[in-house]
């Protein structure tokens, strides 16, 4: 299978768990022209009233400064690899099987399909594991 596999920086920020909490944070990034390819937001079950948002990519000084102003930092505990290719039935299963065969324990996995293309994000706990994810999937 032909895949585009590359590591991406994931940025994380806390957000208020209330109507408009996510919208306000994203508006700040939109105002400086950020073209986000992935947004994952959720409540923080351990902290009532708080949520968390993960985004990628942030590029250039304007985006990074704006992101910092609303609390974003590059996550140091989550390492992420983006995988893109032609969609086919079972692609997520095939990818995760390859990673399992390489003894990689995933911290997270998300995938979606638009038209004939898929994009998946594989999250692991260390830079060494992210490097191994790239190596395994580029060889697939």
Q: For 2-60, how does the pLDDT look when each residue is reduced to its tens digit (9 = 90+)?
A: 999 999 999 999 999 999 999 999 999 999 999 999 999 999 888 999 999 999 999 99
Q: Are 137 and 95 in contact (CB under 8 A)?
A: yes
In order of 19, 53, 92, 131, the CA distances from 124 in angstroms are: 31, 17, 16, 10
Whether residue 1 is predicted with pLDDT greater than 80 in this model: the reply is no
**Fold that domain 10-74 belongs to in CATH:** Alpha-Beta Plaits (3.30.70)
| Superfamily of domain 77-138, CATH level 4 | ACT domain (3.30.70.260)
Whole-number Å distance between alpha carbons of 93 and 75: 27
Question: What's the whole-number mean pLDDT along residues 96-102?
Answer: 97
Q: Are 94 and 111 in contact (CB under 8 A)?
A: no
Bridge-partner residues for 9, per DSSP? none
């Amino acid at each position: 299978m032909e895949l585009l596999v590359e590591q991406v920086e994931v940025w994380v920020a806390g957000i208020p768990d209330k109507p408009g909490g996510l919208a306000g944070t994203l508006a700040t990034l939109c105002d400086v022209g950020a073209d986000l390819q992935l947004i994952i937001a959720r409540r923080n079950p351990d902290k009532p009233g708080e949520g968390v948002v993960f985004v990628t990519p942030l590029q250039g000084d304007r985006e990074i400064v704006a992101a910092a102003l609303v609390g974003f930092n590059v996550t140091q505990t989550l390492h992420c690899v983006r995988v893109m290719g032609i969609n086919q039935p079972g692609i997520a299963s095939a990818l995760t099987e390859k990673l399992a065969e390489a003894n990689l324990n995933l911290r997270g996995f998300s995938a979606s399909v638009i038209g004939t293309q898929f994009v998946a994000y594989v999250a692991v706990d260390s830079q060494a594991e992210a490097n191994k994810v790239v190596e395994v999937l580029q060889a697939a």
